[in-house]
């Protein structure tokens, strides 16, 4: 089954993380230079950059309108380590050896420290390309700001794209993105801090946006402060695009009449963990890019966002009366349509989460300027649901 999507569907986003601190007096020139490229901002300003189109209801991390924020304070961390070159390492360039022996830091960080004198070779500043000899000494001395008090945990993560500046993770169903009230451990942030210890020095461990606990799919992460901030700005100016796939209760003809859903979304007045379409809400626009019938009353949708609001896709599809299968918050009994076999009815009733997957992520690389697009297939549970719903259906 194929789906088509335009190269760059536009998104709008907000963002959330801790306050970025002013440079500490102990920070070296390289750290100061990074901070000049990515100026400090308040929690509220940082929050305005966080994408909140799909937020975990149980996360207790709401946008500035709801405003429960769980954030650690930035703490200066002194780095002072020495390495003596062994025979097997002789002949390597300084920067290559540094990447090998100081593996907790990115290559971009280490190259900056070689240039500014934080990483010395035999007590002197040298060019990164100088080749080392056995007995030579590398000494790294600097101070970083550690933003996270969250603890690293050895949790498997699926990396689908990685370079020196950017990481893209395929988040599984059931994993909370970052710690919050009731979810202090077992989150993606805890996993990131174990596999990438240098992320401790970035707000929210480098996260650029977030998706709901029970939504699967791609998450974008910056590995350096300039990269994280640049990607957040891209979310704000709509040069990042993400596409979602979801299984909905609705026939193709009806869904095709709603190719563009334009309905403002705000927080429900009585149920604070829910969002709803309301006149006083924030602008919200969703595009149905492709509609693939699974049977007469259920379809696979390819969805793009023009804006990014909390639970936007789920709220909009429920609003037009075609909810996502498995969505207990916004779906209800409308998930069950006429003409279902017993097996199909059980598959819908037993599906344990909203059948929603963030499958495509596109962005401009913050360092090279290259257009990057990453995709990940529909997860197995959604494939099985689609197979049951389409059984015996001949379009």
Catalytic residue numbers read 212
Specify whether the CB–CB gap between 359 and 377 falls below 8 A.
yes
Rounded Cα gap, residues 277 and 28, in angstroms? 49
């Amino acid at each position: 089954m194929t789906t088509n999507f335009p190269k760059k569907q536009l998104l709008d986003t907000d963002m959330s993380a801790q306050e970025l601190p002013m440079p500490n007096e102990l920070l070296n020139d390289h750290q100061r230079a990074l901070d000049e490229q990515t100026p400090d901002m308040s929690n509220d300003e940082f929050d305005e950059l966080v994408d909140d189109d799909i937020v975990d209801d149980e996360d207790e991390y709401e946008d500035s309108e709801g405003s429960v924020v769980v954030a650690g304070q930035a703490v200066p961390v002194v780095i002072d380590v020495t390495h003596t070159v062994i025979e097997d390492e002789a002949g390597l360039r300084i920067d290559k050896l540094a990447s090998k022996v100081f593996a907790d830091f990115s290559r971009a960080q280490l190259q900056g420290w070689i240039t500014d004198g934080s990483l010395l070779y035999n007590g002197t500043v040298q060019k990164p390309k100088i080749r080392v000899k056995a007995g030579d000494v590398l000494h790294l001395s600097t101070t970083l700001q550690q933003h996270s008090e969250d603890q690293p945990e050895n949790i498997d993560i699926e990396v689908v794209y990685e370079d020196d500046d950017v990481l893209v993770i395929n988040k599984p169903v059931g994993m909370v993105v970052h710690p919050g009230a009731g979810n202090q451990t077992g989150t993606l942030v805890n996993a990131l801090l174990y596999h990438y210890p240098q992320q401790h020095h970035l707000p929210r461990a480098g996260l650029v946006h977030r998706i709901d606990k029970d939504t699967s799919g791609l998450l974008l992460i910056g590995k350096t402060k300039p990269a994280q901030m640049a990607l957040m700005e891209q979310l704000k100016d709509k040069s990042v695009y993400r596409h979602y796939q979801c299984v909905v209760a609705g026939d193709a003809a009806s869904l095709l009449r709603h190719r563009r859903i334009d309905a403002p979304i705000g927080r429900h007045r009585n149920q604070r963990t829910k969002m709803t379409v309301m006149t006083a809400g924030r602008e919200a626009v969703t595009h149905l890019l492709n509609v693939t019938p699974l049977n007469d009353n259920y379809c696979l949708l390819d969805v793009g966002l023009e804006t990014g609001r909390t639970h936007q896709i789920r709220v909009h599809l429920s609003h037009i009366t075609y909810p996502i299968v498995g969505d207990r918050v916004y779906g209800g009994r409308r998930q069950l349509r006429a003409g279902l076999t017993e097996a199909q009815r059980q598959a819908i009733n037993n599906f344990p989460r909203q059948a929603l997957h963030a499958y495509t992520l596109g962005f401009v690389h913050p360092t090279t300027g290259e257009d990057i697009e990453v995709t990940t297939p529909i997860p197995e549970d959604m494939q099985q649901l689609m197979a049951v719903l389409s059984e015996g259906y001949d379009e």
